[in-house]
Structure 1
Amino acid sequence: MNQLFSLPTALCLPVPDIEALIQGRTIAALPRMFLRPGQRFAIYPLDTSTNLLSIEQYYRANFLPIAQTAIKQVNSETISIKAWAKCELCQILDKTKPLDVLSQLTIWRPEAFEAIIQKQQNIFLAYLRIYDLPKICQVTANPNIQEKIGKFVSVSNISGSEDKPVLSDRIFAQRKRQLEKLESPLHPELEELQSAITSLSISQPAAKQLDDDIKVFLGWSSDKLIKQPDPDLAWINDIAKLGDRSIEKDEKKSNYQAGTDFENIARQSLEFLGFKVESAFKGGAGGLDLFCSKPYPIVCECKAGKLIPSRTVEELLKLGGMHLGKTQLLTSAKLVIGPGNPSTDTLKAAKEWEVSIINAMTLQKLVELKSKYPGAINLVELKQYLEPGQIDYKLDEYIDKAEKEIKLRSHIIQLVKNYLQNSGIESAGVDSLHGAYFGSNPPQPLKTQEMHEILIELSSPLTGYLGREKGSDWRSDRFYYLRDLPL
């Protein structure tokens, strides 16, 4: 843990500007004076801008909703100081600089810069490295402090540390270089998309995850994000529980209701894995529990309770033949899902009629893997593991194989990241990366072309973990780091 130190001063900035700094949207601030590089201070939010222009004229359109929300949330009685800053650079700019490009790299409109130059001849552009305070400091609002916008005020009892930087060293250095060289943003369309889904991310977990991913991709957030559990997926934890339920464990529900609950969650599980579950088959007396038509046909029988009873296979074959016909039944994969071990006669019948039997917990593990890594389950490949008899161990092999492939890709992403950081270069070829791979305690041996195939996969627009500069042939392709694949 980094040592605590006192912060006796604070720079007063408009609350939208501070919100942008804390969110990582910008690394720039507009003080009224030159800041000394290395200077450390808290950042004190005020609910006003420079008053030179209206808020609509001052902030860029894609930041305006956030600015308006930040101002509305200001407490007129208490000020919350959440972060501190270290000045890494301070530039003095005038109207000869391309203000339109500067606007694209920050949160302000070109008109804001023009108004500042008209009033004070120059713009002081401070590059700030932002850190979260160990503890939010609450101070009583002082209405007389509004005139201090862009200036320093004295504060007391505020301590800072470097434990929680908003941006990693690598991301901050990248953003600083881009701003210094006034390089146009690489992905303005993504910035517009992120702004458009900001309000949705408050209430919708899927939008929140997309919002977080875009921020990481744009360099507005740190390399790693802790993925919060999706409340919409809490049902996954109940798959095995509902399979185990019996009348002894839940006297308030009948065996029939316990079976129906398990059928429903099994249906939800198979749909989540990517199967098309036909709605015409919903179990019940004399009904077929589940039938999946795509990507290949599966006839399924669900058995809640402590044991898979005798004659389960015969029941599956009878109901399947009655509802689907002999030809469809025999050409379909056949599956029994239940919580316990099958009886000897059930196991014998399963092997004779090529019926696979899996435990409810195995189904839950497959769904858990899919929820963590949406592309991890290949249903066509999974079909190869649907052998006759009890196949939990086979599906465990499939899950282990998928997890090893994910770990390998996570390792390669970290390899690219570390290699570029240590080399001080922006991209690298497959030969260099392959050489570094064998010095990185690799999880498994790889040939150069095998590694190139994985690098191509990770740099696909659908994955976006790496970027690719296409060469004249596969050996001249170059790759660069975009984001982590957390395990």
Structure 2
Amino acid sequence: MSKSILLQTALALPNPDIEALIQGRMIAAMPRMFLNPGRTFALYPANLSVDLLSGDRYYRSHFLPIAQKALAQLNSDRVSIKAWAKCELCQMVNEPESLEALSQLTVWKTEALQQILQQRPFIFVAYLRVYLLPQPLEMPVQSSGNFVSLPKSLNVTDSTPVLSESMFAKRRQKLEKLELPEHPELEELQSALVHLSTTNPKAKQLDEEIKIFLGWSENLPTTKPDPDLDWIKTIAQIGNSSDGNGFEKLVRKGFIKLGFGNSNHKPEASLDPESTGGAGGLDFYCETPYQVVGECKATKSETVADGTPAQLIKLGHKHLQEQYNCCIKIIMAAGQLNRHANKTAIGNHMNVIRPETLQRLVELKAKQPGSIDLLQLKPCLEQQPFGEEADAKVNRYIDGVREKLKVRSHVLSILKKYLETTGSKRASVDSLSGAFSMSNPPKQLSREELHEILVELSSPLTGYAGRIKGDSLGRDRFYFLRDLLLDD
């Protein structure tokens, strides 16, 4: 349950520092006075220059463009307060040998910290748990001492933390022990992506995923669905119409979305949605990662005659020659095949798949990009049954993928709940195994299977969990990074 807190003052900090706190890049601030743990305050963006150091000497190079932008946003008349914070701890640092590690865990340059320490007996380092305001508070600029008075009391709640309790605890431990960051090269890459992410959606997605992996963020701030879902959700509708050309284009786009490819630009044996085969050409042909050839049959209500599989045989041999025999063969058809057509399809090892099934497969790929492994799908398409019964085996494959995703989502939820309940920073497989088995999971897992899934989820390529590797299975420790959200 969220707590209600009344704020009357704001701590004045350099605006770039506040931006770094809001972005989750660091949890530290350098106030000019000691802050009592438990004290709460808004964060007032001030144009403070620490000991008159210029920005390029004060901030680390990868953060400097963000710092310059934050300083440029300051207005001489009004300020915008976006967040508030609670001081969790305040320490005094005066050991020169600690400054490099402190720099690596924040956005401040080591030389800037050294210069501050030359002019003061110590540096105050406050650990701040930061929360976003539901909307920015605009107020006139005030001469900034350590604290400024708010124009009116501000009633806030702790329902929108920048970092969850478990993530903040992990970051706090690293700062207290001055442990160097594990992936400084990724911090550099993330900063380089900041400029690209404003105009390039793929760069933005990578930027967000890196921030999650680094522990700067836990949820994607913009969970926009894949824009391709707009056309993906029309596959079944168009397939069950008389728009044969439109259906063929959607099928080609669907196969490309799944990860199939074709470098052959000949329109009669292509996968290009803008250059369909037309009369005498194959409806779709994939070369990679394996060969697939197919015929599309959009229809409102009529049955599919023997001419459709016969057409695939004829055109396949014509355009692919001996390669046709190596291909997986698919008929995408909305209508039911008549007896002769289904017999031909079975005898020639053709999978008859409905538009609804293709749509379901491509939708899953769009919503969970790593879920469809085409090499695992291949045996499903190569094995019996063929003909109209093949549709059921493809749906069983989809159901199996969804079941695996449910298990992984459940494992993550158990890890997250365990850490929140116990207050631990990380969990072993043994401690999670009991909690998992008692949680009514979609599927019971052995200790080894649970460990294998946790390792998979903590891969840098997935970034759902983190892993502290031990010297054996029982010594690995895992921590939560982000949810794996699934549609019902």
Instruction: Quickly name the TM-score band, shorter chain normalised.
Output: 0.7 to 0.9
Counterpart CA distance in 2 for 1:138 and 1:463 is: 39
Q: Which amino acid in structure 1 is aligned with residue 369 of structure 2? A: P
Return the alpha-carbon distance in structure 2 between the equivalents of residues 407 and 21 of structure 1: 34
* Count of residue pairs the alignment pairs up: 470
Match of 1:334 in 2: 329
- Tell me the CA shift for residue 102 of structure 1: 0.9
Cα distance in 2 between the residues matched to 1:370 and 1:358: 17
Shift of 1:86: 1.0
Q: Is the 8 A contact 2:96 2:114 kept in 1?
A: no
Partner residue in 1 for 2:309: 313
Corresponding residue number in structure 1 for 2:35: 35
Q: Is the 8 A contact 1:31 1:150 kept in 2?
A: yes
- Structure 1 position 397 matched with structure 2 position 399: no
Q: State the distance in 2 between where 1:174 and 1:28 align.
A: 13
Aligned equivalents of 2:98, 2:34: Cα separation in 1: 20
Asked if residue 291 in structure 1 is aligned to residue 285 in structure 2, the reply is: yes
1:274 to 244, 256, 259: 259
Give the equivalent residue in structure 2 for 1:251. Answer: none
**Cα deviations by residue, 1:93-124 (Å, 9 ceiling, x for unpaired):** 22545111111111111222233334443322
1:333-355: CA deviations, max 9, x gaps? 21111334334443343223322
CA 1:81/1:172 → structure 2, altered by over 3 Å: closer, same or farther?
Answer: same
Q: Which amino acid in the other structure matches residue 321 of structure 1?
A: H
Name the counterpart of 2:273.
Answer: none
Counterpart CA distance in 2 for 1:332 and 1:153 is: 74
2:167 aligned with 1:176, yes or no?
Answer: no
Partner Cα separation in structure 2 for residue 302 and residue 279 of structure 1? 19
- CA displacement at 1:63 relative to structure 2: 0.8
Deviation at 1:432, TM superposition (A): 4.0
Aligned position for 1:239 = 235
More moved, 35-44 vs 335-344: 335-344
Give the letter for the 1:184 counterpart: L
> Could you say which residue in structure 2 is the equivalent of 1:99?
99
SS in 1 for 2:399: helix
Name the structure 2 match of 1:11: 11
Contact 1:242 1:261 in 2 (8 A): yes
Q: 1:204 aligns with which of 189, 200, 206?
A: 200
Pairing 1:425-464 to 2, within 5 Å after superposition: 427-464=426-463
| 1:378 maps to 2:373 | yes
**Cα–Cα, structure 1 residues 395 and 62, in superposed 2: closer, same or farther, change >3 Å?**
same
Contact residue 14 and residue 149 of structure 1 kept, 8 A: no
Cα displacement (A) at 1:126: 1.4
Measured after TM superposition, the shift of residue 426 of structure 1 is 5.0
Q: Which residue of 2 aligns with 1:409?
A: 408
Cα distance in 1 between the residues matched to 2:422 and 2:3: 30
Match of 1:249 in 2: none
Partner of 2:364: 369
Q: In 2 relative to 1, CA 85–462 (structure 1 residues): closer, same or farther, beyond 3 Å? A: closer
Distance 2:226 2:449 in 1: 35
TM-score by length of 1: 0.88
Give the CA deviation at 1:416: 3.4
Contact kept in structure 2, 1:301 and 1:316, CA below 8 Å: yes
| Percent identity of equivalent pairs | 49
**Deviation per CA, 1:102-158, whole angstroms, max 9, x where unpaired?**
111111112222333344433222111111113322223x3xx3x415433343152
CA deviations 1:438-485 (Å, max 9, x no partner) are 222222122333333333433444334344455555x44413124233
Is 1:359–1:392's contact at 8 Å kept on the other side of the alignment? Answer: yes
Could you tell me which amino acid in structure 2 is paired with residue 383 of structure 1?
Answer: K
Q: Specify the alignment match of 2:45 in structure 1.
A: 45
Shift in alpha-carbon separation, 1:8–1:458, aligned structure 2, 3 A: closer
CA contact (8 A) 2:166 2:423 kept: no
Distance 1:178 1:462 in 2: 23
More divergent stretch after superposition (382-391 vs 157-166): 382-391
Look up the equivalent residue of 1:337 and give its one-letter code: M
1:25 and 1:429 mapped to 2: Cα distance? Answer: 27
Displacement of 1:210 in angstroms is 1.5
Query: How far apart in 2 are the matches of 1:365 and 1:24?
Result: 37
**Per-residue deviation at 1:166?**
0.8
CA distance in 2, matches of 1:62, 1:244: 54
C-alpha RMSD of matched pairs (Å): 2.6
Question: For residue 386 of structure 2, what is the aligned residue in structure 1?
Answer: 388
Counterpart residue identity of residue 387, structure 2:
G
Structure 2 CA distance for partners of 1:203 and 1:233, relative to 1, 3 Å:
farther
Unaligned runs of 5+ residues in structure 2 are: 271-276
